[in-house]
């Protein structure tokens, strides 16, 4: 087991009991709801370079994760389903892997057949600059680049959560 | 080079002849002429758009445009040492892997209809992209193409190879790799997951080079009707750190993509699978090390005996039987830090510290609290 990973054997039962308290933080570090998301530049695992700022005009889910975190892992395909439904309507996902290697992320992306952007943060600099203290942490950013939700912990346990989150931005979409 | 539309073409043999003539011409009387003319079509080079191939034999091929360079690249890539491109804003030469490439509506070199632009600065690239309806392109001058295509029966496979180890990293099938017989998504369990892995490895064993006996299930979950299954690779009873092989199965039983991070090199090393050190000894060694580095009353929150592949500077990998120990900072200190603590890797045979990494927590509510709080 990968272990940063043995954590999950030890803590998983406890975590399941505590999950409902994970969401709804008003602020995480330097990034707060209602404020403009700071920009950062990246090179994704396919070699394409870009920046968060370039996605202005689209609704963006910025997600910090690692593959040893069991919640992070199985939320990823669920997010992918919504990404595939909404990408042509202006939805984007930037998934920032914290502390692992490109090899790990490449294999992980293929295993789960994910199609959204995978970005590396090997030394955690980006995560720290966004005040991320635990994974998964998600920032929902509106078309103007304003942070509308900060969701910490296992959130997307059911499709309904993502539906409720995204419906205001895509009222006409078949979610 | 997908997505790059070039209007002009030239046959492979003719190109080879052109390149051969260029390389073989003595650097004497012709040099003044060839120095400023395109190695591909002989047109005079505007330095602002020049591309250069520094060849392994020490020669230099110069091209008038990205379009010409890309045509030549296909044939010449095995003999190229470095590709230099030109920042069209400053005229500065830079390595292709450091540049930003934008394909836009603006033509730079009309006789080849070149629409690929090169920038050293990302803001300049973005400005051009936004102003002229452009799109970002990945570096088209990748000297090692990790992807290859092969046929497996009537299925086309796209296979990505790790450039350092030569091992298979990704296999994608067109339209899919295989279809599982008698697959029932509503009655799929651990045994079914292992059988599915066995069937897949029976088909792809030549690429993945691992047997199902070397795998242990790390997770399986049904989402949106599909099953997602992943395994760790093991050495004897011990899991190899950050190894994985996994795939998803559609409700119809089809597997279309496999991702793998597998190891081969450890197999010839006769590694031990039983620790000489006890956990308490390993913990004491790790604590002593951490106390020198950053003295706190750490809490050991998780541990595991693993095979740890440590990459050296030249890409070679050393394998260790190791304890991986996760230490958390004390609560009061942790709340002010991004990192939750340290991950310490202790050689389970010699007791040496092999590696030390920062540990990020699983999200906030799930952090363990100190005993006294």
Identify the CA nearest to A66 among candidates A44, A114, A103, A99: A99
Identify the CA nearest to B325 among candidates B350, B349, B297, B306: B306
Interchain proximity A49–B362, CB inside 8 Å: no
Identify the CA nearest to A150 among candidates A160, A138, A162: A138
Give the single-character DSSP code of B106: -
Distance between B307 CA and the closest CA of chain A, angstroms: 10
Percent of chain B scored above 90 by pLDDT? 67
CB-based contact A155:A138 (threshold 8 Å): yes
The predicted-structure confidence for B311-334, as pLDDT tens digits, reads as follows 876 667 899 999 999 999 887 666
Higher pLDDT, B13 or B104: B104
Domains of chain A: 6-169 (3.40.30.10)
Higher pLDDT, B230 or B32: B230
Distance between A130 CA and the closest CA of chain B, angstroms: 10
Interchain proximity A104–B244, CB inside 8 Å: yes
Instruction: Please tell me whether residues B58 and B159 are part of one structural domain.
Output: no
Other CB atoms within 10 Å distance of the CB of residue B208: 17
In A, minimum Cα distance to B233 occurs at A1
At residue B314, the 3 state secondary structure works out as coil
* Containing structural domain, residue B32: 12-137
Task: Give the number of domains in chain B.
Answer: 3
* B326 contact A CB<8A: yes
* A26 contact B CB<8A: no
Buried b (16+ CB within 10 A) or exposed e, B11-24: eeeebeebbeebee
* Residue B274: inside a domain: no
Determine which of B363, B364, B367, B369 to mutate to test the interface with A (most A C-beta atoms within 10 Å). Answer: B363
Q: What is the pLDDT of residue A29?
A: 55
> Would you list the DSSP string of B175-237?
S-SEE-TT--GGG--HHHHHHHHHHHHHHHHHHH---GGGEEEEEEEEETTEEEEEEEEEETT
The Cα B185–Cα B225 span in angstroms is 7
Q: Which of B23-27, B161-165, B281-285 is modeled with the greatest confidence?
A: B281-285
* A52 contact B CB<8A: no
* Residue B3: inside a domain: no
Name beta bridge partners: B32: none
Contact list, B170 vs chain A (CB under 8 Å): 106-107, 110
Instruction: Please tell me whether residues B164 and B105 are part of one structural domain.
Output: no
CB-based contact B257:B245 (threshold 8 Å): no
Identify the CA nearest to A81 among candidates A169, A171, A168, A163: A163
Q: Of B91, B114, B137, which marks where a domain is finished?
A: B137
Full-model pTM: 0.75
* Residue B261: inside a domain: yes
Q: How many CB pairs under 8 A join A and B?
A: 188
* Residue B156: inside a domain: yes
Q: Residue B337: which pLDDT band, with cuts at 50, 70 and 90? A: confident
Distance between A132 CA and the closest CA of chain B, angstroms: 6
- Which residues contact residue B238 at a Cβ distance below 8 angstroms, ignoring those fewer than 6 apart? B273, B305, B306, B307, B321
Question: What radius of gyration do chain B's Cα atoms show?
Answer: 27
* Residue B373: inside a domain: no
Question: Could you tell me whether strands B226-235 and B147-152 are parallel, antiparallel, or unpaired per DSSP bridges?
Answer: unpaired
The predicted-structure confidence for B33-92, as pLDDT tens digits, reads as follows 445 899 999 999 999 999 999 998 989 999 999 999 999 998 898 899 889 999 999 999
On the 0-12 / 13-18 / 19+ scale of CB atoms within 10 A, A5 is buried
The predicted-structure confidence for A68-115, as pLDDT tens digits, reads as follows 888 788 899 999 999 999 999 999 999 999 999 999 999 999 999 999
Distance between B14 CA and the closest CA of chain A, angstroms: 32
Percent of chain B scored above 70 by pLDDT? 86
Instruction: Please tell me whether residues B125 and B152 are part of one structural domain.
Output: no
- Phi, then psi, of B85 in degrees rounded to 5: -120, 175
Q: Residue B16: which pLDDT band, with cuts at 50, 70 and 90? A: low
CB-based contact B169:A103 (threshold 8 Å): yes
The Cα B176–Cα B174 span in angstroms is 5
- Phi, then psi, of B233 in degrees rounded to 5: -85, 140
* B246 contact A CB<8A: yes
- Phi, then psi, of A151 in degrees rounded to 5: -120, 120
Instruction: Please tell me whether residues B337 and B252 are part of one structural domain.
Output: no
The Cα B195–Cα B201 span in angstroms is 10
Q: Sign of the CA dihedral B137, B142, B147, B150? A: positive
Instruction: Please tell me whether residues B177 and B252 are part of one structural domain.
Output: yes
* Residue B242: inside a domain: yes
Interchain proximity B343–A74, CB inside 8 Å: no
E-strand stretches of A52-156: 59-65, 91-98, 117-121, 134-135, 137-141, 147-152
Instruction: Please tell me whether residues B74 and B99 are part of one structural domain.
Output: yes
* A114 contact B CB<8A: no
Interchain proximity A111–B226, CB inside 8 Å: no
Q: Of B115, B137, B159, which marks where a domain is finished?
A: B137
Instruction: Please tell me whether residues B167 and B211 are part of one structural domain.
Output: yes
Tokens of B370: 């100190």
């Amino acid at each position: 087991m990968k272990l940063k990973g043995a954590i999950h054997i030890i803590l998983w039962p406890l975590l399941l009991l505590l999950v409902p308290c994970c969401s709804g933080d008003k602020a995480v570090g330097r990034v707060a709801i209602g404020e403009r998301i700071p920009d950062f530049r990246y090179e994704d695992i396919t070699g394409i370079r870009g920046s968060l700022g370039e996605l202005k005009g689209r609704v963006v889910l910025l997600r910090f994760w690692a593959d040893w975190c069991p919640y992070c892992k199985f939320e990823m395909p669920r997010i992918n389903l919504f990404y595939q439904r909404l990408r042509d309507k202006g939805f984007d996902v930037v998934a920032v892997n914290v502390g692992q290697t490109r090899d790990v992320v490449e294999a992980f992306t293929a295993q789960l057949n994910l199609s959204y952007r995978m970005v590396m943060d090997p030394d955690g600099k980006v995560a720290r600059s966004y005040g991320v203290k635990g994974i998964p942490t998600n920032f929902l950013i509106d078309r103007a680049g304003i942070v509308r939700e900060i969701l910490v912990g296992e959130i997307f346990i059911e499709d309904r959560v993502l539906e409720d989150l995204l419906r205001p931005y895509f009222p006409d979409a078949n979610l | 080079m997908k997505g790059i539309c070039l209007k002009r073409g030239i046959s492979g043999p003719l190109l080879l002849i052109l390149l051969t003539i260029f390389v073989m011409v003595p650097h004497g009387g012709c040099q003044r002429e060839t120095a400023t003319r395109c190695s591909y079509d002989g047109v005079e080079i505007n330095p602002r758009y020049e591309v250069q191939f520094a060849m392994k034999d020490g020669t230099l091929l110069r091209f008038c445009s990205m379009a010409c360079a890309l045509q030549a690249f296909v044939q010449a890539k095995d003999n190229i040492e470095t590709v230099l491109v030109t920042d069209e804003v400053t005229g500065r030469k830079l390595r292709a892997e450091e540049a930003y490439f934008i394909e836009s509506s603006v033509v730079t070199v009309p006789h080849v209809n070149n629409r690929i632009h090169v920038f050293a600065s990302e803001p300049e690239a973005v400005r051009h992209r936004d102003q002229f309806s452009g799109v970002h392109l990945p570096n088209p001058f990748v000297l090692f193409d990790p992807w290859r295509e092969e046929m497996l029966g009537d299925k086309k496979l796209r296979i990505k190879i790790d450039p350092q180890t030569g091992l298979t990293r990704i296999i994608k099938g067109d339209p899919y790799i295989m279809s599982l017989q008698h697959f029932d998504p509503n009655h799929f369990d651990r045994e079914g997951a292992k059988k599915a892995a066995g069937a897949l490895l029976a088909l792809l064993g030549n690429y993945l080079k691992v047997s199902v006996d070397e795998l242990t299930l790390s997770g399986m979950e049904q989402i949106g009707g599909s099953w997602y299954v992943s395994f760790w690779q093991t050495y004897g009873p011990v899991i190899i750190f950050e190894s994985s092989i996994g795939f998803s199965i559609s409700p119809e039983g089809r597997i279309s993509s496999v991702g793998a991070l597998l190891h081969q090199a450890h197999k010839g090393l006769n590694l031990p699978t039983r620790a000489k050190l006890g956990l308490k000894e390993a913990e004491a060694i790790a604590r002593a090390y951490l106390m020198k580095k950053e003295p706190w009353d750490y809490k050991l929150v998780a541990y595991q005996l693993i095979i740890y592949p440590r990459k050296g500077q030249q890409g070679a990998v050393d394998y260790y039987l190791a304890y991986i120990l996760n230490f958390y900072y004390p609560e009061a200190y942790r709340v002010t830090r991004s990192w939750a603590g340290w991950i310490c890797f202790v050689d389970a045979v010699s007791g040496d510290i092999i590696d030390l990494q920062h540990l990020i927590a699983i999200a906030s509510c799930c952090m363990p609290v100190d005993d006294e709080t």
